[in-house]
Structure 1
Amino acid sequence: MLGLEYFTFTAVWSPVFLALMLMVTGGYFVLIGPGSDRWAKGDSHVSVGRKLLFVTGIVLLYLAQGGPVELLGHMMFSFHMLSMALSYLLAPPLLMLGLPPWVWRRVTTYLAGSPLSKLKVFARPVVAAVVFNGLFSFYHLPVVHDYVMLHFGIHRLYYIVLFVAAVLMWWTLVNPLPERAGVQGLKKMGFIFLNMVLLTPACGLIIFADEPLYATYSDPAVWARAMGYCVAGDPAMLLRQFGGPESFGYLQPDIDQQVGGILMKFIQEFIFASMLAYVFFQWYKQENRENDEEEERLGMARPNDPLNPPLPPQAGP
């Protein structure tokens, strides 16, 4: 399917990365199980829903960075953007919500006493939004993208930094420590809207480009070099066997590029628009609740208020 049948099991499923994800998942269940007696204070119970969120996040991250989506992302730009959406818009909040609050208390306490505490400025809402969307947009400049795809070490480092930036951006939205007062109400809606706006220029550049922007998906020689990092063997063999990325794409390179930009923007808009609606609904309920409590308080206080005595009953006709 989509040319995956031409590649080995190792190339498609990345057993080493799969083993790493399984180790992380196993460590998670040890931490929230036997390990909770040592590290948790108070209620160490972790709900089934929270466990499902974490496992789902791990599965999405594996598919995007080590599974079939990752390999297809080297052959088609639309799958590359799907991989980016899974890695940075879906997996981080699921993983963050999957960890119980007592884990995050341990993490934040450790970071507060380490040299990394000097970097806490990057966790501020506006800074986090600008940094994440800036790194994402910068990466998709054609010259930067092609360079990163052709240099394995820089590629991995950039993806790790981008993931950390995504976690900092999502921190404001999911607030995994309920006792800490986070951004709420109109400010939170403004933060969501800011993220929606900041990613628009990069997606617009991709969607409305008149020609293919990335040599990785249009130049067979560059494509073969990039493929050499996820497929064992001589890149020249890929050229002789397939000729280039067009052998796998079901769309022309320019159309595939537009589909990728639209896909990324659609996923982002759907996620943030859903969150915007949820935050607005919660803010609206909170405002109505406070108004009702204020009216009830005034109503109970009025009979005993000497400045506003109750009106006498009116006599009948």
Structure 2
Amino acid sequence: MGNNHQQHDMPTAGGLGSFSDLWSPDIMLVTLIIAILYFLLTGPLHKRFINAAPATNRQRWLFVLALILFYAAEGSPISYYGHHYLFSMHMLQQSILYFALPPLALLAMPEWLLEKIFEPKPLKLMLKISTQPLVAALMFNSLFSFYHVPFIFDSAMSNHTLMTIYHIILVLAAFAMWWPIVSPLSDNKKQLAGLKKLTYIFANGVLITPACALIIFAGEPLYNYYMSAPQLFVTHDAFYDQRLGGIIMKLVQEAVYGSVLAYVFYNWYKHEKQDDLPMDQQPSVPIVER
């Protein structure tokens, strides 16, 4: 994705790429187009849809943050160095795409817009199946683990088309994995709430641990692709960089899951406390979990 090419094809000496290599004007254009479409649809054009309301300020800011993260992962030097030189940068890119981007993007979407997107029956059916909590958790974490099996990883990284396809599938699987936690659709909120949501987040954290542990605690470099990459720093070899990549992935995942766990627990506790109050002391406006 982005400015990635075939295996290490013509990286510049010393790791200094051109402006186009480092900042991907094509991804910049895609990001701009997505922003324009979002602000048009959730702004002036929302009146063309039945029961549609404009995006809130909170949703707009979340979408801008999601776009910044998307461009950082796919269009910035993170992508260039991650593909040509450093496994740790590749893992940082993945951390952004799979753990930080999806929840922000989903929370930024008005409910009516998501319903419109998934209005066609085949898409609606695909969404219903892929976002079942058990299916979503197993699908994403299995795909993530398989991707980091050395011979699969080396094959994907050496073939631009294969890598792009795998990354698109993983990003879609990540959105499906996050759907039971942060989807704004009303039906979804009834499906998974309170302690069930806490259990689901915790389970995802457990399922991804073996893949991260394999990378962090391996006794030797696992990936030929990065072993044959140009070395940017004398003291930072492929083995050290591999461990750093695994640590980055695990830390980002723990930070995001931990933050979401704390937020969900707070909301659940608030609901429980509200339910324990006498009827005359309960707030007139019900607390809605987002």
* 1:86 and 2:96 aligned: yes
Shift of 1:107: 2.0
**Cα 1:33/1:40, change in 2 over 3 Å:** farther
* 1:77 and 2:92 aligned: no
Cα distance per residue 1:82-122 (max 9 Å; x no partner) = 00011111111111111111101212323xx2366256322
Letter in 2 for 1:34: P
Contact 1:175 1:182 in 2 (8 A): no
Deviates more, 1:89-98 or 1:5-14: 5-14
Letter in 1 for 2:239: D
**Cα 1:96/1:201, change in 2 over 3 Å:** same
Partner of 1:251, secondary structure, is coil
In structure 1, C-alpha distance between the alignment counterparts of 2:191 and 2:65, rounded to whole Å = 25
Shift of 1:65: 1.5
Contact 2:118 2:124 in 1 (8 A): no
In structure 2, C-alpha distance between the alignment counterparts of 1:285 and 1:204, rounded to whole Å = 35
**Cα 1:115/1:279, change in 2 over 3 Å:** closer
**Which of 250, 261, 269 is the matching residue for 1:276?**
261
Partner of 1:73, secondary structure, is helix
Shift of 1:80: 0.8
In structure 2, C-alpha distance between the alignment counterparts of 1:171 and 1:249, rounded to whole Å = 43
* 1:255 and 2:264 aligned: no
In structure 2, C-alpha distance between the alignment counterparts of 1:145 and 1:36, rounded to whole Å = 43
- Aligned residue number for residue 229 of structure 1: none
**Cα 1:266/1:27, change in 2 over 3 Å:** same
**Which of 5, 13, 22 is the matching residue for 1:12?**
22
- Aligned residue number for residue 32 of structure 2: 22
- Aligned residue number for residue 131 of structure 1: 139
Contact 1:128 1:169 in 2 (8 A): yes
Shift of 1:79: 0.8
In structure 1, C-alpha distance between the alignment counterparts of 2:140 and 2:89, rounded to whole Å = 21
**Which of 133, 152, 159 is the matching residue for 1:151?**
159
Structure-to-structure mapping, 1:142-181, within 5 angstroms: 142-178=150-186, 180=188, 181=190
Shift of 1:280: 1.6
- Aligned residue number for residue 45 of structure 1: 54
Partner of 1:114, secondary structure, is helix
- Aligned residue number for residue 32 of structure 1: 42
Shift of 1:214: 0.7
Shift of 1:179: 5.5
Shift of 1:294: 6.7
Shift of 1:175: 2.1
**Which of 186, 196, 218 is the matching residue for 1:209?**
218
Contact 1:218 1:253 in 2 (8 A): yes
Letter in 1 for 2:184: P
Cα distance per residue 1:195-240 (max 9 Å; x no partner) = 0000000000000011111111112xxx4xxxxxxxxxxxxxxxxx
Return the TM-score normalized by structure 2.
0.86
Letter in 2 for 1:159: H
In structure 1, C-alpha distance between the alignment counterparts of 2:107 and 2:125, rounded to whole Å = 22
Cα distance per residue 1:38-97 (max 9 Å; x no partner) = 02515x132222111111111111111122110111211111110001111111111111
Cα distance per residue 1:166-203 (max 9 Å; x no partner) = 11111111021146423111111110011000000000
Deviates more, 1:3-12 or 1:268-277: 3-12
In structure 2, C-alpha distance between the alignment counterparts of 1:177 and 1:279, rounded to whole Å = 17
Contact 1:206 1:261 in 2 (8 A): yes
In structure 1, C-alpha distance between the alignment counterparts of 2:65 and 2:38, rounded to whole Å = 13
Letter in 2 for 1:165: A
**Which of 103, 109, 114 is the matching residue for 2:119?**
109
Q: Between Structure 1 and Structure 2, how many residues are aligned?
A: 268
Contact 2:15 2:232 in 1 (8 A): no
Letter in 1 for 2:46: S
In structure 2, C-alpha distance between the alignment counterparts of 1:5 and 1:186, rounded to whole Å = 48
The percentage of counterpart residues that share the same residue type is 39
Shift of 1:8: 0.7
Larger Rg: 1
Letter in 1 for 2:151: V
* 1:100 and 2:85 aligned: no
**Cα 1:186/1:196, change in 2 over 3 Å:** same
Consecutive unaligned residues in structure 2, runs of 5 or more:
1-12, 283-290
- Aligned residue number for residue 186 of structure 1: 195
